[in-house]
Chain A
Amino acid sequence: MVKTNVPQIVAIQIHNLTRRFGELTAVNGLSLEIYRNEIFGLLGPNGAGKTTTINMICGLLPVSEGKITFPGNVRKDRRSFIGYCPQENIYYPKLTCLEQLLFMGQMYDQPFQLLKKRAFKLLHLLGLDDKTNVMAGNLSGGMKRRLNICLALIHDPEIVILDEPEAGLDPQSRMLVRDYIRSCKKEKTVILTTHNMDEADRITDRLAIIDHGKLLLLDTPQNLKKTMGEGDILEMLTEDVSESVLNDFIEKMKLFPIQLTRNGNILLFTHTDMINRVVEIKKLAEESGLKIEELKFRENTLEDVFIHLTGRSLRQ
């Protein structure tokens, strides 16, 4: 996941991408480049425009403005080199896992013997071996999710687009999926959307944080976390107090070289040497008349970055 300085080949170039639904602008002037062999994440809260962006990349939705190009690809029809796992599970309930993988593969003109091998391999890698001959309609939610990921990959596309691949997965399955996505990187470009910070942090190489259809930040997860300031975070949950008391305290804090972010009743303090600052902060808070309900000490997360950027939490 460490970023190298090897010059990157652009797989997808998005320029000023905009999509309007009537009055609403779901995606607003998005410009970014996605490199070959990277795992690219789109992070944002509900309604940020992630699915809309992806649908435009796949060619399911016409763009209102802007352009999407695939410079690395000579083939004109993007349908042949994109594999798509939609946010919502889409499958043939009356076909078995194997049957639908083979069927979809055939729709992409793949040779049958090769398809068969690939299908078994995919089912194995995503932990569905024993469900090979089970009708998709009879799978559990998490299994359907994994089947959907298999379906995106059955024709061995160069670009894999996964809309919330981890939704509804238990921790074990999540590990399987993550391992698989990471292994894809060697020969594919992966785009995934999520509002799961942990997922984004752990598997993406670069991450675009979007909200209201706009790109807020684009960088590696490590660098993004640095934008919050180096170091650890002190999270302070205050009791319901008047705005004036809180604002008074925030004013006072400005005198210290400590970064402060507020998210409702929660105050986040960031500093490289947090441990030695805790006493100081606590004292100041008590002096200002602030009642502390809980005081937590933790590492910097992407969630913090998001709150810092948007002033609101991702988990609503």
Chain B
Amino acid sequence: MKFVSIITKSFKEQIRNYWVLLLTLSMGPFFLFIYDLMTESSPQQYKICVVNTDRGITVEDSFVNYGSDFQFFFKQKGNSMAAVTFSVCTAAGKEQGIEMVRNNKADILIIIDRLFSQTIEKKLANDHTNLPQVEFIGDLTSQKYLISAVWINEMINEYISKVTGSKRVVEVKETPLGESGAIGEFDLLVPGILIISLIMLMFTASIAFVSEVENKTIIRLKLSKLPPLAYFGGISVVQLLIGVLAVLLTLFTAILLGFGYSGSLPVMVLVAVLTSMSMIAFSLVVAAITKSANEVLVVGCFPMFLFMFFSGAAFPMHSNTLFTIAGYPITFQGLMSPSHAISALNKTLIMNMKVSDIMPEIISIIVLSIIYFGVGALIFKRRHLRTL
């Protein structure tokens, strides 16, 4: 009964504070619009710039240039790949090519050696002293460079074995997992943004918990016989609704903007609900150590930035093992529920994995929620709800 009263009261207050509510709800869609403006929504494109310095060779009165031949072969292959698209362009010289990589006009620059044709002809004549040379230039930390390099490497091997008729030692086959080959940069960002829209929930939830402390109405609640759990629970239910609404709005916006997902929506909603719960539980910790909305806004920034930047929501992260519990490694990231949520969403929405595949994430989120809630409730009770 009291639980229901708290829910209705909290719901009314939340709706009447529509300004804060609107901001929270619009956060995810807003980020998506911005990202959509900034990124291409077409499938990932790998831009390859080729500089052909091959001088060619005259064999039996005909001039051959294996360099340009390779380029042609390479272009054809690039267009025939279904999952990943490569676009090939040429530059006049090395300098120009490097400039293009620097300006992000190309992800990788390949320079075909001037003796490319010559070495191939020698190889045909069974002279193996020199091998055909190709130089790769690019930003080694860029994921696009790496993927392009792997692929070009494979192309070169294929081409050489084709023209020289030599047997290939290894044949590499690349199979993208789930939809990971076909999805664009935008699609990649959506799971992170879905979680960011939930991280924002931390503010409304903390403020909802702490507002009673701030306007001192907590004194009235202390004097009535309101069980703390009813208080926490009632507010949490309303915040959970907001969380689910925020995720659905974000997802809806994403789909409108052409989000290509593969996994099941119910699983996504399940992950969102669990993540909302963990964020609400975490909010209780924030509310417990603050006394007003202003303090929440300051204190809340610490976990918000942690969650946004170091959980993988904004960009992928890796972290070291802090300690192990019963052989299970605990990382700093592992202590933040959003990182599990993002991992779970990536698995379902991009790699099309089933619920059973994301069980470890689901369990982690639940366990973390319980820990956050326990700590938050304990401190909140001691600091704000203590009676005689």
Interface set of A (CB-CB < 8 Å, partner B)? 58-60, 62, 77, 79-80, 82, 84, 86, 88, 90-95, 99, 103-104, 106-109, 135, 151, 155
8 A-B pairs with least C-beta separation = A107-B224, A106-B5, A94-B16, A59-B388, A94-B13, A90-B216, A103-B9, A108-B224
The answer to whether B388 and A95 touch across the interface, beta carbons within 8 angstroms, is no
Contact B224 A104 (CB under 8 A): yes
Is B17 in the interface zone, CB < 8 Å from A?
yes
Establish whether residues B219 and A86, one from each chain, have CB atoms under 8 Å apart when the complex forms. Answer: yes
The verdict on B168 contacting chain A, using a C-beta distance below 8 Å, is no
Residues in A neighbouring B224, C-beta threshold 8 A:
79, 104, 107-108, 155
The majority secondary structure among interface residues of chain B is helix
> Which residues of chain A have C-beta atoms less than 8 A from B221's C-beta?
107
Q: How far is the CA of A108 from the CA of B216 in the complex (A)?
A: 18
Check A90 against B215 for contact (C-beta < 8 Å): yes
- Interface pair B222/A60, CB less than 8 Å apart: yes
- Interface size for B (C-beta < 8 A) is 21
Report the minimum CB–CB distance from A56 to chain B (whole Å): 9
Tell me which residues across on chain A come within 8 A of B222, comparing CB atoms.
60
A contact residues around B220 at 8 Å (CB): 90, 104, 107, 151
A60–B216 CA distance with the chains assembled, in angstroms? 12
CB-based nearest B residue for A89: B216
15 contacting pairs across A/B (C-beta < 8 A): A59-B387, A60-B223, A77-B225, A86-B216, A88-B216, A90-B219, A92-B9, A95-B9, A106-B2, A106-B5, A107-B2, A107-B5, A108-B224, A109-B1, A151-B220
Q: Mark B3-21, 1 if CB is under 8 A from A, else 0.
A: 0010001001100110000
Beyond contacts A79-B224, A84-B223, A106-B5: 7 other A-B pairs, Cβ-Cβ < 8 A, are: A60-B219, A88-B216, A93-B215, A94-B17, A103-B5, A106-B2, A151-B220
B226 within 8 A of A: yes
Q: A59-B387, A94-B17, A99-B12 are in contact. Are A108 and B219 (CB under 8 A)?
A: no
The reply to whether A94 and B12 form a contact with Cβ atoms under 8 Å apart is yes
In chain B, positions 9-47 with a C-beta closer than 8 Å to chain A are 9, 12-13, 16-17
Contact A79 B223, CB 8 Å, known A90-B215, A94-B17: yes
A89 to chain B, nearest CB (A): 9
Given A86-B219, A94-B17, A108:B225 Cβ within 8 A: yes
Output the least CB separation between A76 and chain B (Å): 12
Task: Give chain A residues whose Cβ lies under 8 Å from the Cβ of B331.
Answer: none
Q: Give B46 Cβ to nearest chain A Cβ, in Å.
A: 54
Q: Does A106 lie within 8 Å of B217, measured CB to CB?
A: no
B12 touches A107 (CB 8 A): no
Contacts from B to A (Cβ < 8 Å): 1-2, 5, 9, 12-13, 16-17, 215-217, 219-226, 387-388
- Chain A residues with CB under 8 A of B5: 103, 106-107
In whole Å, how far is B274's beta carbon from the nearest beta carbon of chain A?
30
CA A77 – CA B224 in complex, angstroms? 10
Asked whether, in the complex, the Cβ of A107 is within 8 Å of the Cβ of B388, the reply is: no
B13 touches A107 (CB 8 A): no
Residues of A within 8 A of B215 (CB): 90-93
In the complex, the chain A residue whose C-beta lies closest to that of B17 is A94
B2 with A91: CB separation less than 8 A: no
Residues of chain A lying within 8 A (CB to CB) of residue B217 = 90-92
Contact A107 B219 (CB under 8 A): no
Closest chain A residue to B4 by CB distance?
A106
B223: A residues at CB distance < 8 A: 58-60, 79, 82, 84
Would you call B216 and A106 a contact (CB within 8 A)? no
Complexed CA–CA distance, A99 and B215 (Å): 17
Determine the chain B residues whose CB is within 8 A of the CB of A95 once the complex forms. 9, 12-13
Contacting residues, chain B, for A104 (C-beta < 8 A): 220, 224
For residue A86, which residues in chain B have a CB less than 8 angstroms away from its CB? 216, 219
In the complex the two chains form, is B9's CB within 8 Å of A109's CB?
no
Interface centre among A82, A88, A107, A108 (most CB of B within 10 A): A107
Whether the pair B388, A99 counts as a contact (CB closer than 8 A) is: no
Residue ID in chain A nearest B14 by CB atoms:
A94
User: Closest chain B residue to A151 by CB distance?
Assistant: B220
**Complexed CA–CA distance, A144 and B226 (Å):** 24
A58 to B222 Cα, complex, angstroms: 11
Most buried by A among B215, B224, B226: B224
The residue in chain B whose Cβ has the minimal distance to the Cβ of A90 is: B216
B388 touches A62 (CB 8 A): yes
Looking at the assembled complex, report how far the CB atom of B372 sits from the nearest CB atom of chain A, in whole angstroms: 26
Residues of A within 8 A of B12 (CB): 94-95, 99
